[in-house]
Amino acid sequence: MTETLIQAAQFFLSLSILIVLHELGHFIPAKLFKTRVEKFYLFFDPYFSLFKKKIGGTEYGIGWLPLGGYVKISGMIDESMDKEHLNKEPQPWEFRSKPAWQRLIIMVGGVAVNVLLAMFIYAMILFTWGDAYLKTENVKYGVECSELAKEIGFQNGDKILEIEGVYYENFAEVPEAILISGASEVLVDRNGEKVSISIPSNIIEQLIERNSKKGFINIALPYIAHKFSKGSVAEAAGIQAGDQFIAINGEEAQYFSDYISRLPSLANQEVDISVLRNRDTLHFDMTLGTNAKMGVYAVPASELITYDRREYGFFESFPAGTSRAVNTLDSYVQQMKLMLNPETGAWKGMGGFISIGKMFAPVWDWQSFWNFTAFLSIVLAFMNILPIPALDGGHVMFLIGEMITGRKPSDKLLEYAQIVGFLILVGLLLFANGQDIVKLLK
């Protein structure tokens, strides 16, 4: 319960930051071009608001429906569907009276702020914490495979050499390159022999249907005893620090995750644990308690494999942060292409607010929080610039058409487009969050 509350708190804080800054991206140029802004709201306020205060002709407030936020600009057909101004002559302070280039800047302001914000956050993350990454060549124990990975040909201990003929230096990019980039072939080193593995086109659909908590592949790490908890049954049985766990009741179990997944079913039972001590294989009998734990802490990953680390100076961090934001955007675009391709089945993994909330760390970690906030800022920018009426991109589409043709679309056309766009967005919102509810019920 505590973990869920921490995730929810991070989600609402992140969402609030992104919404306020996005709306400021519209608000500031509107004010600069002397356009009247009637409302500036965090979250939506149908029927009532939690807080509101009028300052200088603008009502600032907080709504009760956390599905976004908005600025209401005079003389603009927006999600409020306020058409009262259409029956009056355009006023100098209204949005519709401004030149097309000014209206365009006002509309792209929110997306521009989200992109710049992501760049800035990534830059500050690199400046504050640096960048620790694992080179693919340093994954000396190979990969640990999910059941799906094993079924298509991977084996525990495989070392990734190439994906579609490309070598990825940073191992963090490997799973995405296999799953998101549409790779059809992966070359691995298996005990000194090169083996080619074919990747099915519907790999993501299969992974979603399995709902594997292991993901697809992970870094393989041996389970080596580091220290023991008080009352450890393993220590009492004779296991020592430095022993490497290799089997449970005679069945191979080399990785920590094997013990996490298999020991719970052996609670209150006597088990035979095999370990490797120097070059000798030893067997120890022990009776697990009701919690099914042996009481053994594993040697940390940082002591088993070598991570590379790069520190960034203040000015050096900005181009690096920009590069990371661009790469994040490119990765997200690739994911959206998969979502829109029915053959991949990736749409089954679409989720709403619950899925997003669960992606935050279950403990409050500022580095993790800002990383995910930067990612969400990129997502918000991309989704808002889509040419769907009711989104910023829909307004931009009509404005560019006006600037090219020299003809302004009629207010009636904009009104109908706004209705259609709103219905599309509601449909997507219901579908995505419906997916979350289905997953919860399952």
Kindly write down the DSSP assignment for every residue of 28-73, as one continuous string. HHHHHTT--EEEEEEEEEEEEEEEEEEETTEEEEEEEEEEEEEEEE
Residue 86 is predicted with a pLDDT of 60
> Distance between CA 283 and CA 275 in Å, rounded?
6
Residue 423 is predicted with a pLDDT of 83
The tokens describing 261, both together, are 């997944």
Identify residue 178 by its one-letter amino acid code: I
Do 223-302 and 136-218 have the same topology in CATH? Answer: yes
The tokens describing 196, both together, are 């080619």
Helix (H) / strand (E) element for 247: namely strand 244-248
| Helix/strand number for the chain, H first, E second | 12, 15
Kindly give the parts of the chain with pLDDT less than 50: none
CATH of domain 136-218: 2.30.42
Cβ count near 215 (within 10 Å): 14
The tokens describing 377, both together, are 């800022």
CATH of domain 223-302: 2.30.42.10
Spell out the residues 6+ positions from residue 18 whose beta carbon is closer than 8 angstroms to its own. Answer: 114, 117, 373, 376, 377, 380
Residue boundaries of the structural domains of the chain: 2-127+371-441, 136-218, 223-302
Spell out the residues 6+ positions from residue 105 whose beta carbon is closer than 8 angstroms to its own. Answer: 29, 33
Residue labelled with tokens 């579609």: 164
The tokens describing 184, both together, are 């059809």
Which segments of 278-348 are extended strands (E)? 280-287, 296-298, 308-310
Q: Which three-class secondary structure state does DSSP give residue 163? A: strand
**Entry pTM:** 0.80
Is the four-CA dihedral 304, 139, 150, 176 of positive or negative sign? positive
Residue 339 is predicted with a pLDDT of 72
Is the four-CA dihedral 419, 420, 425, 428 of positive or negative sign? positive
Nearest to 319 by CA among 112, 126, 109, 113: 126
DSSP string, 332-393: HHHHHHHHH-TTTTGGGG---HHHHHHTS-SS--HHHHHHHHHHHHHHHHHHHTSS-TTSHH
Residue 224 is predicted with a pLDDT of 93
Name the β-bridge partners of 170: 135
Identify residue 397 by its one-letter amino acid code: M
Measure Cα distances from 336 to 162, 196, 269, 436 in Å: 24, 28, 48, 18
> Distance between CA 239 and CA 218 in Å, rounded?
27
Tell me 409's DSSP state. P
